[in-house]
Chains A and B, each alone.
Chain A
């Protein structure tokens, strides 16, 4: 037994010490014709970038149908003082704008306060948009360029959701990850059903919620 062990040790050492065996290549063979092509993902993989604060604000202005920041501010405030919107100056730092006078750098990632700011601004935009669009001729509707029928089934919702999806996220909803349309439809229905009495009707509140869910979406804020 001992001899066998010694022999094994020797052979292992010998194997370890001698040069590695060369394995000659074998003959290549073709895939059968019926085999589907093998796809290779060669796309570079990169983390998304945060939408620059300037681009966020310009997009916001455009969605408000405003030519200037002050015009957007006025439209957001309406006649309600600071209820829905304060002043742009209150939001600049939390939106991530740099302040070169004070050497404060641009924000390159989100933080909780920025998320809160996006909510504040998103609520203002969407609430004002339902107030405006649903009482305006179709040609003048900026965000809700459709008729908000009630009741609405899932396919009718999907058609309208597609308009919003294109508006905010820049692509058709049919290309969105699975389940998105259903999630937003559920949000719509739940909001409409449970909406307490406010300035907005249940349908308006439901569409505003869908709108908020898109302007605050990671695919809106990242690119």
Chain B
């Protein structure tokens, strides 16, 4: 098993998750004219008392990632911007804030555009290793420990297809 584990570890180092890693790449936020969208103190009437605002911020946060491709969504805002997370949106937010809704499956990243929260991306990148927590569509049928209470009876959600809802002994 040690050899097996070492090979898997090497494979995981080569490709930790499905899709492509763009966390090290920079996305330049642009305005409607295609120019860099600046939010420096010189350019805007900024309220420096706002807790969400970074004093050294120069660029507005990007409205979308600048890179396109297969399976890029990782739930992390472009440029590594700070973001909150939770099951409901925060009440105090300003334009450019990011928020990861963890009640979505897969988790969904939103950005505040000044008036509403706009979907950015879904966290669709995941490990390629056959772990017990892998959550692909097929994986959610296999890696499933959920049980439901149906009609007062606890029913295990994952059941072999041949045994699912099979009639019980009816004497």
Partners in one complex: no
Q: Which B residues lie at the A interface, using CB under 8 A?
A: none
Q: Which A residues lie at the B interface, using CB under 8 A?
A: none
